[in-house]
Amino acid sequence: MSAPLSDGSSGEGLAAKLGLRVDPAFLRAAESRLAGHAEAVGELDPAEGLEDLARSLPGSQSASSCGVASAALDQAVHVLAQRCEHLSRLCQGTAEDYEVTEASFAASFGALRGTLWG
């Protein structure tokens, strides 16, 4: 029997019903790829092309708009890189937390097993 959750359900969550499995190796691979994406995105310079465009259209309304567009693109690229870094750290932390929890559970269960079944 499980204790009721705050929403009043029985405590048998969707993860339990679906047989949730955690693969720390997959999480570590995702961590690495996301870190690589963060680095690649962080190195992008979308403003460079807009600066070239502004120089090629001197005095035009399009040229004056390039500065605003450049700032917006730089901000968007920065935010995307930050999100990738954050997701990478989440994958790393989740993999580490799972491994520690699994090891702790196994040790506790082993101790309990010795107590119950001698």
Distances (CA, A) of 118 to 63, 104, 105, 107, 111: 81, 20, 19, 15, 10
Could you list the residue range(s) of the whole structural domain that residue 53 is in?
Answer: 23-107
Domain-embedded: residue 17: no
Domain count, the chain: 1
Domain-embedded: residue 118: no
**Averaged confidence pLDDT in the chain:** 81
Domain-embedded: residue 83: yes
Report whether 80 contacts 41 (CB < 8 A): yes
pLDDT of residue 20: 62
**pLDDT value at 33 more than 50:** yes
Residues 52-108 have pLDDT tens digits of: 999 999 999 999 899 899 999 999 999 999 999 999 999 999 888 888 777 777 777
pLDDT of residue 5: 44
Domain-embedded: residue 51: yes
Distances (CA, A) of 68 to 8, 53, 62: 51, 13, 10
Sign of CA dihedral 21, 89, 96, 26: positive
Domain-embedded: residue 70: yes
Domain-embedded: residue 18: no
